[in-house]
A and B are shown apart, each in its own frame.
Chain A
């Protein structure tokens, strides 16, 4: 932007219009710049296979992956698998967030609960979550319950830690303002603590969501008849690398989309933040 500012100051009248047009153009198209790198890579790989420099059997070119995706979409399989996976993530994420928020808030607010509960939870957190899989299968069976529980466990810890840490790091001086205005306990939570922890909470939700997508694959590896994880296993067993890459691409799209929904959904509540905003270069 700095280049524009310089020209604006040297010739204000003529460049005013140009500045608004250019900046609008940039705002609309800038996000698409992020597509340049993957498209370039895909294009060169397609070219490499096309020119016969590689047979593309183990790493299929974009056209083959595209055809595979199209085939999956046409037969309705794509929708079935995506829906199954998405449902598991949504349920597991919801459960994990609810439990993590509740326990994190209580542990952050009450020192006694923290001393009682936190050491145990930290010990549980040290267990690689995949280690629970055999136990969950024994307890909950091989169907949805054990999968959703595993995802919920993965989501729980970052949310719990994030909420507890955020509450513990709320500025004492701000809380004192609430006390000076005689806020009751619930009012103090609603008017001071909640808004103060919101930025950190959003960050912990995002990392929880990321882990949710990670664990859904682990959950689906442990035996599923549908879902994107099943597509991966199926592609491996039947030697269909295009199907594996297709599933991976869908994971990328879904993960990015849900993360975007989360950030853009919470952005209106965080407009007040006084944070470092590196200026975009033109």
Chain B
């Protein structure tokens, strides 16, 4: 069980990025965090990862307090952040330095096979496409078998087709070991396709605004009426979180045109 207890973050320039954020995530649950820009969702993710420490409040994983990066918590960033001087295989095995060479090799080979990049094992990262590079980053984060995987807008830099592909792929990989996933995203459809629960945040200072359960049966059909219904609920919550008084009905027409990418 991952629990975020009353976490606040104030930056040295007195910007209050987070204010008293608390929530629990059950093992194996997939949670999406959405919100307008500046609502502190990336700050929250960095606090959970241990890369940054909150000003107040605590992040727990089971009985441990997370104050620094932890072996049970993996993170995938918006950019692949592959190390350009390592081959694809060595990048995937980066977090396995403590294992013997043979075991490392075997686990890397298995991970590359799972993301469909076995034939790219020996190439340099510069030779990969954006989608391939992000798949390598996913493999790198998953290969140490973390209990919690954090994703900070992982697919936002990719084109629409690749994005949908990778969302499905991520769910497929998640099913292997069922880690807890916490995903920060701009993309409402992405949140609905992936998550069991969607947390909407409101900005200045960043706080939790609303939680929306997403219990659509998997695999989820992006075209179904039920999907659309959840989408409208999320978009309405986002509007309210930003203090806009647009009725859900009003949004309906817009939602159909362009709300798939909600900024």
Which residues of chain A from 159 to 180 have a CB within 8 Å of any chain B CB? 173-174, 176-177, 179-180
On chain B, which size bracket covers the interface? Answer: 20 to 34
- C-alpha spacing A179/B95, complex, angstroms: 11
**Pair B69/A180 contact, Cβ less than 8 Å:** yes
* Residue of B68, B84, B125 ringed by the most chain A CB atoms within 10 A: B84
Stretch in B34-42, B75-83, B164-172, B182-190 with 4+ CB within 8 Å of A: B75-83
- C-alpha spacing A271/B125, complex, angstroms: 12
**Pair A274/B84 contact, Cβ less than 8 Å:** yes
* Residue of B70, B74, B75, B85 ringed by the most chain A CB atoms within 10 A: B85
- C-alpha spacing A180/B52, complex, angstroms: 11
Return B115 CB to nearest CB of chain A, in Å: 18
- C-alpha spacing A40/B97, complex, angstroms: 57
- C-alpha spacing A198/B86, complex, angstroms: 13
List chain A residues, Cβ under 8 A from B49: 180
**Pair A174/B94 contact, Cβ less than 8 Å:** no
The reply on B262 being an interface residue by CB < 8 A is no
Return B25 CB to nearest CB of chain A, in Å: 19
Which residues of chain A from 175 to 233 have a CB within 8 Å of any chain B CB? 176-177, 179-182, 187, 191-192, 195-196, 198
Q: A173-B77, A180-B69, A192-B83 are in contact. Are A272 and B51 (CB under 8 A)?
A: no
- C-alpha spacing A272/B82, complex, angstroms: 12
* Residue of A176, A180, A181, A196 ringed by the most chain B CB atoms within 10 A: A180
Return A167 CB to nearest CB of chain B, in Å: 16
**Pair B69/A181 contact, Cβ less than 8 Å:** yes
List chain A residues, Cβ under 8 A from B126: 272, 274
List chain A residues, Cβ under 8 A from B97: 187, 191
List chain A residues, Cβ under 8 A from B51: 176, 179-180
**Pair A182/B69 contact, Cβ less than 8 Å:** yes
List chain B residues, Cβ under 8 A from A187: 97
The reply on B124 being an interface residue by CB < 8 A is yes
- C-alpha spacing A179/B77, complex, angstroms: 13
The reply on B71 being an interface residue by CB < 8 A is yes
List chain A residues, Cβ under 8 A from B71: 182
The reply on A281 being an interface residue by CB < 8 A is no
List chain B residues, Cβ under 8 A from A179: 51, 69
Return A154 CB to nearest CB of chain B, in Å: 30
- C-alpha spacing A264/B71, complex, angstroms: 40
0/1 string, A231-274, CB within 8 A of B gives 1: 00000000000000000000000000000000000000001111
Of B75, B77, B84, which is within 8 A of A272 by CB? B84
Q: A176-B51, A272-B124 are in contact. Are A182 and B68 (CB under 8 A)?
A: yes
0/1 string, A146-158, CB within 8 A of B gives 1: 0000000000000
Return B149 CB to nearest CB of chain A, in Å: 12
- C-alpha spacing A177/B49, complex, angstroms: 12
* Residue of A181, A182, A198 ringed by the most chain B CB atoms within 10 A: A181
Which residues of chain B from 112 to 140 have a CB within 8 Å of any chain A CB? 124-126
Q: A272-B124, A272-B126, A274-B126 are in contact. Are A177 and B83 (CB under 8 A)?
A: yes
With CB as the reference atom, state the residue of chain B lying closest to A196.
Answer: B85
**Pair A273/B69 contact, Cβ less than 8 Å:** no
Report, nearest first, the 4 A-B pairs whose CB atoms are least far apart: A274-B126, A195-B85, A272-B85, A181-B95
Using a CB–CB cutoff of 8 Å, the interface residues on chain B facing chain A are: 49, 51, 68-71, 74-75, 77, 79, 81, 83-86, 94-95, 97, 124-126
A selection of 23 A-B contacts at a CB cut-off of 8 Å is A173-B81, A174-B81, A176-B51, A176-B77, A177-B81, A177-B83, A177-B94, A179-B51, A180-B49, A180-B51, A180-B74, A181-B69, A181-B95, A182-B68, A187-B97, A191-B94, A191-B97, A192-B83, A195-B85, A198-B85, A272-B85, A272-B124, A274-B126
